[in-house]
Structure 1
Amino acid sequence: MPDKKLPLYYSFLSFFVIAVILAIIVRSFYQLDYSWDFSLLGPYIWLPSTDGGGPGLFLKGLWITIKMSFEGIIFGTILGIIFGMLLTTQEKIAKFAALFYVDIFRNTPVLVQLYVAYFIVGTAFNLSGAVAGVLTMSLFCSAYVAEIFRGTIANFEKGQIDAAKALGLSPFQIARKVIAPQALRTMLPPLIGQFVSLIKDSSLLSVVAIPELTKEAQNAVTVTFRSFEIWFFIALLYFVVNTIVSSVGRYLEKKLSVSLKH
């Protein structure tokens, strides 16, 4: 029988680790000779009534970050599934082309891809910074989604497919009723991890002058010279967005697990 004291041990270990981290953070704050002033964040979050009110630069930048990230996630997922299907095909030329595509975008820095998309491809085809940014994030995301899809399908239990064929199910019915529910449950955790990573990588869009969250933070630091307060708040915004995405992913994973059991 498993040791029932083990969960209690992990709980104490978790509390200890959290306490150590908090102690390090608190000590670092006390040792830092700095006068904190978070009140300067107010106008950057929400404009005062004298300036017309409404969302400040940080909220506007956050909206652009969310919008462009989710556009990259949607297009990247669609492309990733297509290339993932090509990776699992027996047609050698299509499989090699998909593998070459995936290797290019997985094995090169996203910042380099962004520079190429904006300064080379964007110049040739007259693309705006926003279009080049979404294009880069979509292609980068699709390479990881394709590999996640390939790994999931490759490890799928072939006996279930044979059993479904024996029951007279068509290939479409097998894909929809047998493969898709189980594959999606397996793919969901790494997919959510990739989506969270992509949202964080969207901060690189600031290098091509897109007014997303990180770019607006850089502008605010240039004006106020208060980098600590601003970057702490920006980190908090990224944390909130990614926590929501992760929580939705865990909820969907739990719902899929329940539906498969029934």
Structure 2
Amino acid sequence: MLTRKSPLIDIAQLIAFVGVLVWLILAGAQAMEYNWQWYRVDRYIYRIIDGEFIPGPLLRGLGVTIEITFYSMIITLVISLATALLRLSGSVSGRLVATVYLEAIRNTPLLIQLFLFYFVLAPIIGIDRFWAGVLCLAFFEGSFGAEIIRAGLQSVPRGQYEAADAIGLTRRDRLRFIILPQAIPLILPPMTGLVISLIKHSAILSVIAVAELTTQGLDLISETFMAFEIWFTVGAIYLVITVSLSLLVSWIEHRAAIGR
């Protein structure tokens, strides 16, 4: 017979793990004779001068990260839906194009794709590094979003397709009025999870000097030599955003389960 473990044991284990982690960090910093300067960190997040709120470099970088995520997610949704529909279409050429795109994107490193977008594609179509990064992230995440949408569309019972055909709906109206409304509750939670992945992957744009959160952190470290403080702060900012979105995903999944 299984006995339920006390939550106090889990709490104690968590406290012990955090304690050991903090001890290792402090011991490592002491061995390096590192001089902690936490009192300087707040000015790099924000300042209040004469009653006016002045965002610091990290807060400005966070704004760029959110902007990158917003534009990338919109393009990702378009790419994902188009690719999923091509995968499910009766066109051989359409399925071939979608398959080649998925295999090429999902089987090559994101960093290589970023360099191709920045050094090859961007000069050809005349876009700056910001939009080169946005497009690269959108195409990368779109390859995963396409499979999420395809699975959601295929989860709708076949009888719904047949019923739409029976009442004479066109393929577009069938998708718009019958299939998508039933698939969206299933697609939304993993697509929200894709936003979390997009936020984390946006850090790679630091290699092409897009002024997002990680880039601002690198610049501050080079100026202040406060490596530990800045990286812990940057990591905490990412953690707050991603954990908040994870809680949102859990809430959406709970609501979707209730609505079924």
TM-score norm. by structure 1 comes to: 0.85
Aligned residue pair count: 254
Task: Report the identity percentage.
Answer: 28
The letter of the residue matching 1:23 is G
Residue 54 (structure 1) aligns with: 54
| C-alpha separation in 1, matches of 2:197 and 2:213 | 15
| C-alpha separation in 2, matches of 1:41 and 1:81 | 43
| C-alpha separation in 2, matches of 1:36 and 1:205 | 28
Residue 113 (structure 2) aligns with: 113
| C-alpha separation in 1, matches of 2:10 and 2:176 | 41
SS in 2 for 1:9: coil
Residue 209 (structure 2) pairs with residue 185 (structure 1)? no
The letter of the residue matching 2:154 is A
**How far off its partner does 1:102 sit?**
1.4
Residue 18 (structure 2) pairs with residue 18 (structure 1)? no
Residue 138 (structure 1) aligns with: 138
Q: Is the 8 A contact 1:106 1:143 kept in 2?
A: yes
Residue 201 (structure 1) aligns with: 201
Question: Unpaired runs of 5+ in structure 1?
Answer: none
Distance change >3 Å, CA 81–CA 27, structure 1 → 2: same
Give matches, 1:100-249, under 5 Å: 100-162=100-162, 168=167, 170=169, 174-176=174-176, 178-249=178-249
Residue 80 (structure 1) aligns with: 80
Question: What per-residue deviation string (whole Å, max 9, x for no partner) do you get for residues 51-106 of structure 1?
Answer: x8611111101100010111101111121111111111121110111111111111
**How far off its partner does 1:147 sit?**
1.4
Distance change >3 Å, CA 98–CA 237, structure 1 → 2: same
Q: Is the 8 A contact 2:153 2:180 kept in 1?
A: no
Q: Is the 8 A contact 2:155 2:183 kept in 1?
A: no
Distance change >3 Å, CA 18–CA 195, structure 1 → 2: same
| C-alpha separation in 2, matches of 1:141 and 1:10 | 40
Distance change >3 Å, CA 13–CA 160, structure 1 → 2: farther
**How far off its partner does 1:160 sit?**
4.2
Residue 90 (structure 1) aligns with: 90
Distance change >3 Å, CA 169–CA 243, structure 1 → 2: farther
Residue 28 (structure 1) aligns with: 24
Distance change >3 Å, CA 153–CA 53, structure 1 → 2: closer
| C-alpha separation in 2, matches of 1:216 and 1:123 | 25
Q: Is the 8 A contact 1:69 1:202 kept in 2?
A: yes
| C-alpha separation in 2, matches of 1:39 and 1:252 | 39
Q: Is the 8 A contact 1:206 1:214 kept in 2?
A: yes
The letter of the residue matching 2:169 is S
**How far off its partner does 1:24 sit?**
2.3
The letter of the residue matching 2:147 is E
CA RMSD between the two structures: 2.6
| C-alpha separation in 1, matches of 2:141 and 2:159 | 31
Does 8-17 or 60-69 show the bigger shift?
8-17
Q: Is the 8 A contact 1:46 1:56 kept in 2?
A: yes
Distance change >3 Å, CA 16–CA 156, structure 1 → 2: farther
Select which of 6, 9, 15 maps to 2:5: 9
| C-alpha separation in 2, matches of 1:204 and 1:105 | 16
| C-alpha separation in 2, matches of 1:87 and 1:12 | 50
